[in-house]
Each structure stands twice: as structure tokens, then as C-alpha cells.
């Protein structure tokens, strides 16, 4: 979705280069247009346009702007095509209020109509512009800007994170949040706000995560927060947290892309995750609650959904239970089903995916308990859940989830093992063995990358010439093949579909012809059945590539991506890295930017 940044620097400073830097850090949230606004000599000056940051900054002359207080925006279009007019910031009629916004104003047509009938002139097709005019409309006489802003907020329906400049109060940036993420960053001589922490991580690691219904303002030295519905001010210092992320973690550090860096970071992320989770009281508590739950539901989207499906498999294996796993945008299905005695596991690396948040809220409202698994401390989903577990993978900037997937899978395996113990399905000795195996996940990934990168690079050259591919597996490998297919689809724009291998005979095989790419993710104990499926594909001319940890040669395959041998619940660490690398190198071969796949945004905060 869109990315917002605001910087209130000390008088005389120039925040424009920092705004541009922050926008570059936010580009992964959306990137069809970009803009900034500063207050200069009591006037608001805006520069904006459609295109990527570097290009828009050059063409529209960002470096010519100077100001010590400013806001910036990188857009992922919802209302109105990407264009110079639709790029943020948006202004009111007099050009005294500038707004940047992430989210959707659902009642914007109605508001726009009403404002137009009162003489307000709109220049864009966006829902955002109504905010500027609405606040302008509410500004009356000597009243403070906050009063008008508060009244305007009460009229907005939808999800939003907004930052506003007001020419008459040039030292302040006003903000509000409802269902879209917004974080404040505090430092000794300047204050920041942004959609996501990496935007200001170069300058501070002291953050306050805003909650729904909060509004306020920052200057270079002050922070004010209140709940606009109750009018009560919020004690900001009690919410201040130092986050364990560094600017380096959010930088490319010499890698050509964040995605490659993050694939390579997986051993370190898994190590960190394991260390943190091994003695984590929240994980133990969650396991106890879940082990005694009547039913377990899982809600998640995209890659996190695949982690959820994986959890369902390990849960059966380690705790003898089954989970009902659903794509979180289908959360309505929980209505009338989930209730007291149940637990919903909400998995979201960002902790802000709106559908997953809604699923969690629905479950809570029906008396169920919610366990959150997230990578972002204090984000909406963990904050609203009954109990939160954190993956500790560090910031993930590439749009495609990589290291966060493997750390989710690690955390979920630990959770399933602890549930197994809590329900008497496993004893402590079994759990210890599982933990010992998981401890090696980090080195397994390192060995796998070393062993497979060369062959995968060559394979990518071939896959780049294809339009379609199948990813097949069985058992625990099925969610892994779904994840592999998603990576290839989203980064390399090649149609890739995953199926339980046995299901491929029930229709999908009809597409197979000469040289059709079929990837088989082999699973220990299921090799024979998978070999049968490989043979069926091969017989129809497919090119069959098998990711496998056994040295057993097969007549039915064209290529083996040989990975270290591992038990089934450890195969994410051997089977996923080569598939991530395959997607990455195929995208690069085709000339695409894997960090910024078209039409995608890292955090999906609109339904
Ligand atoms: C895929 C990807 C997305 C996310 C999905 C959920 O590589 O990144 O499919 O997995 O948008 O996001 P979170 O986990 O933040 O809820």
C-alpha cells in the first residue's frame, strides 16, 4: 500500500534529502507515484508526479525544495490511476493544508459531493483529496486546527493513516490513524512519523506505534497524542520502545537487491528466531491455550497462509490435532462458527494485513482467543490479540516474503511441538529432539544455498523462457510447493501453480506438453508416490526437476536439485531456499526488479 513519511526537524534544518531517503526506504509499500510537501516561508510547497522516486525527484526538482518540516508519500493507486494530479500530497482550495494518506476513505464520493456543492474545487480523482477539503471546511474562526481536524476525522469512514501540514502552524505535522499503520520515531533533535519503521531507521530506533483512533502532532521537540473519540490525551512516554533493528538491517549492504540479501540472511534470522523463541514464555502460554482449545482456526494471507497450512501439517504430526486454515480475506466464514473455547491463530509478518486483523477481531468478538504470530512488535494484529509470538526475523524490505516465511515455519513447528507436550502427545524428550533438529535449521539453510545456487541460476535461464510451471509435492511439501509457486508468480511473472501431486491427475495434467516445467518437491517417506507422479508427467513430455535430499537416481527426472537430507518437518529449510533463488534469478534474467514486483505492495491494508 502507500507509504507515508513526515519529518519535523529543528528550525533552519533541511529535511528534504531525509524525506527522499525515507521515501526510498518505503518504496516497497507502493511505487506508482511520489511526492513531497514542505512549509517554506509560511507557504506550503508541493512537488509530485507519477513514476519512480529517482525519476520524479529529478524531473520535478525535489532538490530545489528546502524546509525544516515536511511530509512525503509513495503511492500504490487505489482511487484514480497513477498520474501527476493523483499523486500525493493533496491540497485544500487555498493551498494551506497538505495531506498524505494511506488507506481508503469509503464515504469519499458522498463527502466530495457535499463539499463540491459548498464550492470546494477538486483537482484529482483520489479519495485522499476530500480530507484536505474537509478539514478546510471545518476550520472556523479562531478555533485551533486540531478542533477542525478532529471534527473532520469523525466524518471519515474507512481505513487511513494521514499526515497533514498546515501553513499557519509551520512547525507541526498533524497525524491520525485508523486501521492503517502509522509509527512515530523520536530523537533528540527531530521527530518522525511513517507507515513503517525502516523509513526513519537511519535516524532513530525509538518508536511509538500508534493505535486506531489516535491523532496528534509532532514538532522537532514535542509529541502530542490523543484519542479523538474520547478526547483524552495519551501518555506518550509510556509507549516509547527501543526496537532491536538497525539501519544496516534495512539497507542493501552491497547486495543488488533486498530479496537476495534477505534470502542470504535466512541462517542469521533463523538463529535469532530460535534463540528468542526457545525460552519464550508467550510461546509456551500460547501452546497451552491452544492445546486445550476446542478447535483451532488459522487465518493468514499469501506467504503467511502457506505457513498456516504448514502448521496444520506439523500440528497433526506433532500434536495429533487438526487446524481449520483459511485465507484471511474469507474471514466471514468464521461468522456463526468460531466461538468461546476456540483459538484463532492469526499469522502476519507485518501484523497489519487488514483481512487478518478483521479475522482476529471477529474471533475475539465471538469469545474466542487469538494467538498472533508476527514479525513486527506492537503492530495491530499482535496488539489486539490475546497473546503474541514474534518471529524476530528483522526488517524485511523485499516485497516477496523470504526470511519471514522460514522464521514463521520455525516458530510454528516449535508451537506445534509444545502443543504436543501440553496435550500429552509428545514427551519432553521428543520435544527436545525436535528443538535440537530446529536448532540446525540455520546451518541447513546455509548448506542448501551453497549447494544449490549454481544449478538454480542455470535453471533460471531456462525457466525464463517458459510461460507456465507446476510445483508438485505431497504432505508437508504441499504448502512448500505453494510458496514456491507464489514466489515464481509474483517476482518472475510466470504462471506457476502448486498441487498436491496426486491431485495433478484430476485435471492439471491436461496442460502438460513437451518441455513443460514440473518441479517436484520430494518429501521423506513419500518418494515412491512422488516418483509415480514424476513418471506420469515425464511420459507426457514434461521436463521434471526434483528438489530432493536423497541421492536416489530416478529415470523419471531430468534434473535433481540436490539438497541436504532432512526429516519432513525440516524440509522448508532445504526446499524453500532453492525455490526462492529460482524465482529471484528468473526475475533478474527477465529484467524485472524483484524488490518491486508490479501491482504488489508489501503490506495490504485495504480489503
Ligand atoms: C508474498 C507476500 C504476500 C504476504 C501477504 C501477507 O511474498 O509477501 O503474499 O505474505 O500479503 O502479508 P502479512 O504476512 O504481512 O500479513
So where are the chain's domains? Answer: 3-250, 258-439, 446-589
Contact 104, 605 (CB under 8 A): no
Q: Is the CB of 393 under 6 A from ligand 1?
A: no
Q: Rounded to the nearest whole angstrom, what is the distance from the C-alpha of residue 376 to the centroid of ligand 1?
A: 13
Q: Whose CA is closest to atom 16 on ligand 1?
A: 348
Burial of 106 (0-12, 13-18, 19+ CB in 10 A): middle
User: What 3-state class would DSSP assign to 222?
Assistant: coil
- pLDDT class of 314 with cuts at 50, 70, 90: very high
Condensed to tens digits (0 to 9), the pLDDT of residues 330-386 reads 999 999 899 999 999 999 999 999 999 999 999 999 999 999 999 998 889 999 999
The pLDDT of residue 42 is above 90: no
Best CA proximity match to 385, nearest among 362, 415, 408: 362
Q: How many CA atoms lie within 13 A of 201 on its CB side?
A: 20
Ligand 1 atom closest to Cα of residue 301: 6
Which CATH code fits 446-589?
3.40.50.10490
| Identical topology for domains 258-439 and 446-589 | yes
Q: Is 2 a catalytic residue?
A: yes
Superfamily of domain 258-439: Glucose-6-phosphate isomerase like protein; domain 1 (3.40.50.10490)
Q: From CA 472, how far away is CA 478, in angstroms rounded?
A: 7
Residue 117 neighbours by CB under 8 Å, 6+ apart:
none
Mean pLDDT value of segment 455-468: 96
Q: How many CA atoms lie within 13 A of 144 on its CB side?
A: 7
pLDDT, residue 603, reads 67
C-alpha cell at 553: 537416481
- Least confident among 25-34, 260-269, 274-283, 424-433: 25-34
- pLDDT class of 504 with cuts at 50, 70, 90: confident
Q: Rounded to the nearest whole angstrom, what is the distance from the C-alpha of residue 349 to the centroid of ligand 1?
A: 7
Ligand 1 atom closest to Cα of residue 487: 7
Q: Is the CB of 356 under 6 A from ligand 1?
A: yes
Q: Is the CB of 604 under 6 A from ligand 1?
A: yes
Burial of 344 (0-12, 13-18, 19+ CB in 10 A): buried
Dihedral sign, CA of 386, 389, 394, 400?
negative
Q: Rounded to the nearest whole angstrom, what is the distance from the C-alpha of residue 134 to the centroid of ligand 1?
A: 34
Candidates 2, 487, 538, 543; catalytic one: 2
- pLDDT class of 291 with cuts at 50, 70, 90: very high
pLDDT, residue 236, reads 82
Q: At what angle do helices 266-278 and 403-422 cross, to 10 degrees?
A: 30
Condensed to tens digits (0 to 9), the pLDDT of residues 150-175 reads 999 999 999 899 999 999 999 999 99
Omega prior to 50 cis, within 30 of 0: no
Between residues 451 and 527, which one has the greater pLDDT? 451
The pLDDT of residue 423 is above 60: yes
Measured between alpha carbons, how far is residue 69 from residues 169, 196, 508 in Å? 10, 19, 57
Q: From CA 346, how far away is CA 360, in angstroms rounded?
A: 6
Residue 406 neighbours by CB under 8 Å, 6+ apart:
266, 269, 270, 441, 445, 572, 573, 576
Q: Is the CB of 368 under 6 A from ligand 1?
A: no
Q: Is the CB of 401 under 6 A from ligand 1?
A: yes
Residue 590 neighbours by CB under 8 Å, 6+ apart:
464, 492, 493
Q: Is 93 a catalytic residue?
A: no
Candidates 24, 48, 596, 602; catalytic one: 602
- pLDDT class of 281 with cuts at 50, 70, 90: very high
Share of the chain above pLDDT 70, in %: 97
Between residues 550 and 447, which one has the greater pLDDT? 447
Best CA proximity match to 311, nearest among 242, 389, 207: 389
Q: Is the CB of 481 under 6 A from ligand 1?
A: no
Q: Rounded to the nearest whole angstrom, what is the distance from the C-alpha of residue 306 to the centroid of ligand 1?
A: 10
Q: Is the CB of 328 under 6 A from ligand 1?
A: no
The mean of the pLDDT values for the chain is 93
Q: Rounded to the nearest whole angstrom, what is the distance from the C-alpha of residue 604 to the centroid of ligand 1?
A: 8
Best CA proximity match to 390, nearest among 508, 305, 277: 277
Best CA proximity match to 350, nearest among 75, 605, 161, 78: 605
Q: What is the domain class of 3-250 according to CATH?
A: alpha beta
Condensed to tens digits (0 to 9), the pLDDT of residues 198-215 reads 899 999 999 999 999 999
Mean pLDDT value of segment 41-69: 91
What b/e sequence results for 430-457 when a residue is b if at least 16 CB atoms lie within 10 Å of its CB, and e otherwise? ebeebbebbebbbebbbbbbebbbebbb
Mutate to test the pocket of ligand 1, among 377, 379, 401 (most ligand atoms within 8 A of CB): 401
pLDDT, residue 607, reads 67
C-alpha cell at 514: 513437451
Q: Is the CB of 391 under 6 A from ligand 1?
A: no
Q: Rounded to the nearest whole angstrom, what is the distance from the C-alpha of residue 166 to the centroid of ligand 1?
A: 35
- Least confident among 249-258, 342-351, 496-505: 249-258
Measured between alpha carbons, how far is residue 410 from residues 151, 272, 373, 393, 484 in Å? 46, 11, 11, 11, 17
Amino acid at each position: 500500500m502507500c507509504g507515508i513519511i513526515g519529518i519535523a526537524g529543528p528550525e533552519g534544518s533541511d529535511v528534504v534529502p531525509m524525506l527522499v531517503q525515507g521515501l526510498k526506504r518505503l518504496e516497497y509499500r507502493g511505487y506508482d507515484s511520489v511526492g513531497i510537501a514542505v512549509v517554506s516561508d509560511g507557504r506550503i510547497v508541493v512537488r509530485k508526479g507519477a513514476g519512480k522516486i529517482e525519476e520524479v525527484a529529478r524531473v520535478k526538482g525535489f532538490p530545489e525544495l528546502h524546509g525544516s518540516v515536511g511530509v512525503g508519500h509513495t503511492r500504490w493507486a487505489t482511487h484514480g490511476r497513477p498520474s501527476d494530479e493523483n499523486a500525493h500530497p493533496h491540497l485544500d482550495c487555498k493551498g494551506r493544508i497538505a495531506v498524505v494518506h494511506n488507506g481508503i476513505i469509503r464515504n469519499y464520493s458522498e463527502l466530495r459531493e457535499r463539499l463540491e456543492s459548498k464550492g470546494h474545487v477538486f483537482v484529482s480523482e483520489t479519495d485522499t483529496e476530500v480530507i484536505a477539503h474537509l478539514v478546510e471546511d471545518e476550520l472556523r474562526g479562531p478555533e485551533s486546527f486540531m478542533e477542525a481536524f478532529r471534527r473532520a476525522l469523525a466524518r471519515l469512514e474507512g481505513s487511513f493513516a494521514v499526515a497533514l501540514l498546515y501553513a499557519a502552524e509551520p512547525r507541526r505535522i498533524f497525524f491520525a490513524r485508523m486501521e492503517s499503520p502509522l509509527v512515530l520515531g523520536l530523537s533528540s533533535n527531530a521527530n518522525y512519523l511513517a507507515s513503517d519503521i525502516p523509513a526513519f531507521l537511519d535516524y532513530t530506533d525509538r518508536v511509538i506505534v500508534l493505535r486506531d483512533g489516535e491523532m496528534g502532532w509532532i514538532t522537532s521537540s514535542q509529541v502530542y497524542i490523543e484519542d479523538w473519540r474520547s478526547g483524552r490525551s495519551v501518555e506518550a512516554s509510556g509507549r516509547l520502545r527501543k526496537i532491536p533493528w538497525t539501519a544496516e538491517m534495512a539497507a542493501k549492504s552491497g547486495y543488488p537487491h533486498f530479496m537476495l540479501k534477505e534470502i542470504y540472511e535466512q541462517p542469521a534470522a533463523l538463529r535469532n528466531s530460535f534463540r528468542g523463541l526457545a525460552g519464550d514464555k508467550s510461546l509456551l502460554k500460547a501452546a497451552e491455550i491452544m492445546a486445550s482449545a476446542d478447535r483451532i482456526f488459522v487465518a493468514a494471507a499469501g506467504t503467511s497462509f502457506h505457513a498456516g497450512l504448514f502448521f496444520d501439517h506439523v500440528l497433526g504430526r506433532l500434536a495429533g490435532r487438526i487446524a481449520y486454515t483459511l485465507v484471511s480475506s474469507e474471514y466471514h466464514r468464521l461468522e456463526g462458527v468460531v466461538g468461546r473455547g476456540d483459538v484463532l491463530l492469526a499469522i502476519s509478518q507485518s501484523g497489519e494485513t487488514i483481512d487478518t486483523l478483521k479475522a482476529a477481531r471477529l474471533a475475539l468478538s465471538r469469545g474466542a482467543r487469538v494467538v498472533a504470530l508476527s514479525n513486527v512488535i506492537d503492530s495491530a494484529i499482535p496488539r489486539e490479540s490475546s497473546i503474541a509470538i514474534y518471529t524476530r526475523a528483522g526488517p524485511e524490505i523485499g516485497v516477496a516474503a523470504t526470511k519471514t516465511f522460514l522464521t514463521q515455519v520455525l516458530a510454528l513447528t516449535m508451537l506445534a511441538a509444545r502443543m504436543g507436550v501440553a496435550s500429552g502427545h509428545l514427551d519432553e524428550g521428543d520435544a527436545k529432539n525436535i528443538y535440537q533438529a530446529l536448532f540446525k535449521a540455520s546451518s541447513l539453510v546455509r548448506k542448501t544455498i551453497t549447494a544449490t545456487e549454481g544449478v538454480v541460476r542455470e535453471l533460471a535461464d531456462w525457466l525464463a523462457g517458459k510461460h507456465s510451471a507446476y510445483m508438485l509435492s505431497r504432505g508437508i511439501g504441499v504448502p512448500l510447493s505453494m510458496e514456491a509457486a507464489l514466489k515464481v508468480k509474483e517476482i518472475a511473472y510466470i504462471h506457476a501453480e502448486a498441487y498436491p501431486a496426486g491431485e495433478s491427475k484430476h485435471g492439471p495434467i491436461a496442460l502438460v506438453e513437451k518441455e513443460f516445467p514440473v518441479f517436484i518437491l520430494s518429501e521423506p517417506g513419500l518418494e515412491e508416490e512422488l516418483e509415480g507422479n514424476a513418471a506420469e508427467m515425464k511420459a507426457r513430455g514434461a521436463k521434471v526437476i526434483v528438489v530432493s535430499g536423497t541421492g536416489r537416481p530416478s529415470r523419471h527426472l531430468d534434473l535433481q536439485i540436490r539438497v541436504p537430507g532432512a526429516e519432513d518437518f525440516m524440509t522448508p529449510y532445504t526446499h524453500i531456499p532453492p525455490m526462492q533463488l529460482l524465482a529471484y534469478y528468473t526475475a533478474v534474467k527477465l529484467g524485472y526488479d524483484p524488490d518491486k514486483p508490479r501491482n504488489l505492495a508489501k503490506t495490504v491494508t485495504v480489503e
